[in-house]
Amino acid sequence: MRLTFLLHAILALMLMLTTPLPRLAHAEVPAGNPQPQPGDVLLPMPAGRTMALRPVCIGEGAGSYAWKRFRVGDPAGGYKESPTGVALGGAFKVAQASSEDWCYYIGKYEVTEDQMFAVMQSPKEYENSSLPVRNLSWFEAEDFLRKYNEWLYGNARKELPAHGGVPGFLRLPTEPEWEFAARGGSEVDSAGFDRKLPYPLEQLPEYEWFSGPTSSHNKVKKAGLLKPNVLGLHDMLGNVAEMTDSLYQIEYYQGRSGGYVSKGGHYLTDGNQLRSSLRTEQEFYTLDAKNNAVIPAKKETLGFRPVLASLVFPNRQVSAQMNDDWEAYRQGAAQTLPAAVSTSSTSAKTQVSGSDASGHLKRLKDELTRAGAPSGPVQQELDLLAAALNDIQFTIKQAEQDSAYSWVKIGGEQAFFITKEARKLPILENLLQSALSSQRTEVAEKYKERETEIRQNIAQAMSSYTESMRQLGAVSETAVKDGFERYTQFLQKRNAEAQGKLLATVRRHADEYLKVKRTDDENWQKQLFEAAAAP
């Protein structure tokens, strides 16, 4: 019996040794793309390597002047990251489910040492290393991109996305391009885009490498080991900080221009400091004290990822089309973009335009006076024009006041609804636990369904609530103050004491948004829940 068992065991072992093992999944993965995903754009590299990129779409359609308006920065960064309005365009028209959209492509991973070796053929120790390349200067990163572009145009030109028939090219990302991608681009809603992190703080170790024993252990890690963000991009906020093509200015696009901007944190950055807006000024050169010479600056914590971009005017046809669309753009979408306006209220923006118009009118009057006293009818037209400008200012201020009141009312009603729904949750929780304890499964399932419904109602109401705060940010603070006073009077007439008491919290949230131009839906919901629990 034992001999038979032993013979069977030996035969089984021999069969295992002679049967070929299945190929591991990673053997099929191209070098340079450790976590393949649908939608990856793969560019060939020398020596059989691959550069993986992901599309970042603007979400504004395929018009000639389809720009995405958003804010870079975050109050957490202090005066160096004061929220600032920018507008971003794409590089290529890309087919979407039902239409086209402008997109650019950004590196799915930080450029690795192996990819650097494939293009530059040095240093030898970089070969086959999946660690992000670092301790290189901005100029060396540019040199890598230049040589890789030359190789692509000579060996894989047809594989490059094109705009107007002209293939794209790789470069460092601009700061807005990098931050738009880090925040989740057009794949997240407005509230999600405004958050410091594109995922909950408690999930940070699943997505980023930062300092300490719960994450990097203060050592750089291989590219692409952790989860990607919603756009499929790995290690955006941690592992190594990343170079951009933007010069550092305190207010992003005004003030003195210094070194270049690097974005994100790295494996020595505290996790609490990681955020999508994190920016640092980097020097191009440093002093080599030993040799008393200026040399290109390098850091062990600094690397890069590329962007695939295109020419704005690749040919005459594109240029002609943009020329034809220019006037309509200036009279329409451009009116709300940073090139024409700042983040000021509507009345403030109009005040600037009105002041300009008044200045032109005054100069016209002066010129007519110098040429001789204007005739009675001409003088009358000039006076009517001046009066019309004043009327416009008055009308807009009145419209602002009405708009502010409406958005205060919407915000107040949504806040009250949220608190009412929040009060139901602990009651449902008690009922659910009671049903589970008594093994009333069907009843418990109904309580769970009801809880899910309530949480969905709260989520929808919070979306409307934060939108009301954003809309209040588009009017003057005077109009907002007037709106709250009018709504307070409205509640007093209705004897709505509970809503009136809650309005103080709504006002505080509005003041916060007016100050920092960022919504904070998670904290705001928490505070509304606390208000619901208060006696």
Which residue type is seen at 59? G
The confidence score (pLDDT) of residue 80 equals 94
Residue 123: asked if its preceding bond is cis (omega within 30°), the reply is: yes
The confidence score (pLDDT) of residue 18 equals 32
The four Cα atoms 181, 182, 187, 191 give a dihedral, to 10 degrees, of -130
The confidence score (pLDDT) of residue 362 equals 64
Listed in sequence order, the residues at least 6 apart from 406 whose beta carbon sits closer than 8 Å to its beta carbon are 483
The confidence score (pLDDT) of residue 395 equals 76
The confidence score (pLDDT) of residue 237 equals 98
Partnered with residue 260 across adjacent β-strands are 247, 282
User: What are the pLDDT digits (tens) for 497-533?
Assistant: 999 999 999 999 999 998 888 899 999 999 999 999 8
The confidence score (pLDDT) of residue 66 equals 94
Helix axes 376-437, 521-533, angle to 10 degrees: 60
Question: 3-state DSSP call for residue 13?
Answer: helix
The confidence score (pLDDT) of residue 382 equals 63
Task: Kindly give the pairing relationship between strand 260-263 and strand 241-247.
Answer: antiparallel
pTM for this model (two decimals): 0.76
Residue (of 392, 385, 384, 398) closest to 351 by Cα position: 392
Spell out the domain ranges in the chain: 35-309, 395-533
Measured distance CA(69)–CA(67) in Å, rounded: 6
The four Cα atoms 509, 196, 175, 472 give a dihedral, to 10 degrees, of -10
The confidence score (pLDDT) of residue 7 equals 34
Partnered with residue 279 across adjacent β-strands are 263
Q: How many CA atoms lie within 13 A of 487 on its CB side?
A: 27
Residue (of 248, 302, 256) closest to 81 by Cα position: 248
Listed in sequence order, the residues at least 6 apart from 454 whose beta carbon sits closer than 8 Å to its beta carbon are 421, 424, 425, 428
At the topology level, CATH places domain 35-309 in: paralog of FGE (formylglycine-generating enzyme) (3.90.1580)
Segment 497-500 long-range contacts (CB within 8 Å, at least 24 positions apart):
498/416, 499/412, 499/416
User: What are the pLDDT digits (tens) for 89-129?
Assistant: 999 999 887 789 999 999 999 999 999 999 999 999 999 99
The confidence score (pLDDT) of residue 14 equals 35
Which residue type is seen at 65? Y
Helices assigned H by DSSP within 129-268:
138-155, 175-183, 190-194, 204-207
The confidence score (pLDDT) of residue 8 equals 40
Token look-up 């999930």 returns 203
Spell out, as residue ranges, where the chain has pLDDT lower than 70.
Answer: 1-30, 340-394
Length of the chain: 535
Measured distance CA(63)–CA(93) in Å, rounded: 10
Contact 278, 261 (CB under 8 A): no
